[in-house]
Each structure stands twice: as structure tokens, then as C-alpha cells.
């Protein structure tokens, strides 16, 4: 991930049993997330609740060679967590959260309140919509290309990795389906890491925060100084060009200041 990182092109390929369709799921590790729920109080919007979401994968990307319902039945979908409905059942949403972001209090969760079923379903649905809008939960049918081969069914998937997904380790799982059932599966780990200058700055911020803070302030001061210098020079240049361009309309002779006043006056007696 460079300074101008804008996602990457990813290719996943392999061989599945003969006459099978294939789906690929890329999933991140589960993590706790906290959100402020807004509510309208008169003419303004205020925070009316703090939501704690548990057991939600950091990302969920699903690619299939055909519509999921035609590949596998509902029982295997639930068994292997192959759709967002399975995530919905796995996610736990708590309200009135007073936890801080420390690991100990996240695991404790003693201050959380279990909401009623309808409120929890609404919060979970909004959470999934938020992740879909961010592009880190999505499903794409027909993205996996399958062709018969001598050893079975060759499959390949090429897609653009979303740029909003942070560095980390992600599980890539491929499922071969036949007769509405999963008949084979394979998994591997995909690691997304920062390299170069961004990695150096991230390490500096975590290991030497005071050096990072001083460097950030100096960089901001230098950037402001250079911007002001460039702007002032540009304005000065425009001002120096303005009088000559305004005093010399097209087609008129140029008048040089100081020359016109130096005329010889001849008196005839």
C-alpha cells in the first residue's frame, strides 16, 4: 500500500471437482465495533444511544459462478455462513454501551444492554447497510469463471480489491458445489500489508509517538509556508502583468511611460 494506494487487482484460481460450480468468500476476522445512534430532538440531531456490535467480520466479499440459490441449498448456506443472512444471525448487537476501546472492557461488556428483538433487528440491518455502502460487504454473481479441464473444473476470479479495506490477514475460501450441496472446499490466507513510506510512518506513530507528533507539526508548518509563498508569488506575477495588458489593447500602438512626456517644443517667431 503506497502513498497513492487506490486498491489492487487480485486473481484467485484453482481446480475443483468435475461438473461443479464454485463460490469464493473472502472474510476478515471478527471484531468489536462501536457506533453512535442519532435521534432528532426538536430541530437538532443528538446522540441518543451508543451501539456495540460484536462478532461481525471486518469484511465479507462473496463471488459466485452462478446465483447462490441455484448452487447450494439453505442448509449448507447456514452451515458454511455463505451469505449475509448467516452473518445477521451471528452478529450480536448491544445498546446503551458504556465500554471504552480498551481490550479488557471490550471483552467484559458488563455495561451493555441487550435490546428487544425488533430494535436489535433494526440495528443489525442498519449495520449491514452501512458496511455495504462502504464497499466491504458485497456479493457478486457470475464473477467466478469455470471451464472444464482434464483434472476437473478450472476456476478463476479477477476483481478489484476495495481500497477502504485496511491492512490485515484475510481468509480466502473456495467452495465447490454440485447437486445443491458443498462437495469440497479449500482455504488460504491473504495478507494485506503496508510497505514503504506509509509503513514507516505507521511504525513511527506507534513506537515513537512524540517524534511522529513533532514531525507532523513541522510538516504542517512547512506545507503552510510553501503554500503561502507560492500564492503570494502567483498574485505578484498577475499584478505585474495586468497594467501592460490593460494599457495595450489589440491594434493600438504601445505607449511607453516616460517617453511621451519627453517631447521637443519648437517655437516659431
Expressed as residue numbers, the domain containing 218 is 195-264
Q: What angle do CA 241, 243, 249 make, to 5 degrees?
A: 100
DSSP sequence for 74-91: HHHHHHHT-SHHHHHHH-
Pairing of strands 137-141, 60-64: parallel
- The residue out of 134, 159, 193 marking a domain boundary is 193
**What pLDDT, on a 0 to 100 scale, did the predictor assign at position 161?**
87
**CA atoms of 95 and 108, how far apart (whole Å):** 14
- The residue out of 174, 193, 212 marking a domain boundary is 193
> 2 lies in a domain?
no
**What pLDDT, on a 0 to 100 scale, did the predictor assign at position 107?**
47
> 97 lies in a domain?
yes
**What pLDDT, on a 0 to 100 scale, did the predictor assign at position 5?**
65
> 99 lies in a domain?
yes
Whether 32 and 148 share a structural domain:
yes
Three-state DSSP class for 243?
A: helix
> 1 lies in a domain?
no
For the chain, 269 residues long, give each residue's pLDDT as a single digit of tens: 455 666 788 999 999 999 999 999 999 998 888 888 888 888 888 888 888 998 899 999 999 999 998 999 989 998 898 988 888 888 888 887 776 554 444 444 555 678 888 888 888 889 999 999 888 899 999 999 999 988 899 999 999 888 888 888 999 999 999 999 999 999 999 998 877 777 788 788 888 888 889 988 999 999 999 999 898 888 888 877 765 554 555 555 555 555 444 555 555 54
> 85 lies in a domain?
yes
Three-state DSSP class for 110?
A: coil
Whether 185 and 206 share a structural domain:
no
**The total number of structural domains that make up the chain:** 2
Whether 120 and 49 share a structural domain:
yes
> 269 lies in a domain?
no
Nearest to 63 by CA among 86, 40, 82, 44: 82
**What pLDDT, on a 0 to 100 scale, did the predictor assign at position 235?**
86
- The residue out of 193, 222, 256 marking a domain boundary is 193
**What pLDDT, on a 0 to 100 scale, did the predictor assign at position 100?**
57
Beta carbons of 25 and 102 less than 8 angstroms apart: no
**CA atoms of 259 and 221, how far apart (whole Å):** 48
Amino acid at each position: 500500500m503506497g502513498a497513492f494506494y487506490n486498491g489492487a487487482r487480485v486473481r484467485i484460481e484453482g481446480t475443483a471437482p468435475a461438473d461443479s460450480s464454485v463460490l469464493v468468500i473472502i472474510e476478515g476476522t471478527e471484531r468489536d465495533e462501536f457506533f453512535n445512534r442519532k435521534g432528532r430532538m426538536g430541530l437538532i440531531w443528538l446522540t441518543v444511544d451508543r451501539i456495540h456490535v460484536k462478532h461481525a467480520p471486518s469484511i465479507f466479499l462473496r463471488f459466485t459462478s452462478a446465483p447462490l440459490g441455484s448452487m447450494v441449498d439453505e442448509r449448507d448456506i447456514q452451515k458454511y455462513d455463505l451469505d449475509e443472512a448467516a452473518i445477521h444471525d451471528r452478529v450480536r448487537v448491544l445498546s446503551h454501551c458504556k465500554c471504552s476501546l480498551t481490550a479488557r472492557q471490550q471483552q467484559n461488556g458488563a455495561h451493555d444492554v441487550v435490546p428487544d428483538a425488533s430494535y436489535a433487528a433494526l440495528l443489525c440491518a442498519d449495520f449491514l447497510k452501512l458496511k455495504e455502502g462502504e464497499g466491504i460487504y458485497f456479493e457478486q454473481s457470475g464473477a467466478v469463471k469455470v471451464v472444464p479441464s482434464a483434472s476437473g473444473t478450472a476456476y478463476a476470479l479477477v476483481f478489484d480489491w476495495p481500497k477502504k479495506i485496511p491492512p490485515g490477514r484475510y481468509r480466502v475460501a473456495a467452495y465447490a458445489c454440485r447437486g445443491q450441496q458443498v462437495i469440497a472446499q479449500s482455504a488460504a490466507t491473504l495478507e494485506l500489508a503496508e510497505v514503504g513510506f506509509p509503513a514507516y510512518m505507521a511504525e513511527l506513530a506507534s513506537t515513537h509517538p512524540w517524534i511522529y507528533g513533532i514531525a507532523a507539526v513541522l510538516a504542517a508548518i512547512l506545507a503552510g509556508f510553501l503554500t503561502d509563498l507560492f500564492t503570494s508569488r502567483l498574485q505578484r506575477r498577475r499584478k505585474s502583468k495586468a497594467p501592460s495588458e490593460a494599457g495595450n489593447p489589440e491594434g493600438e500602438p504601445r505607449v511607453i511611460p516616460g517617453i511621451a512626456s519627453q517631447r521637443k517644443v519648437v517655437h516659431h517667431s
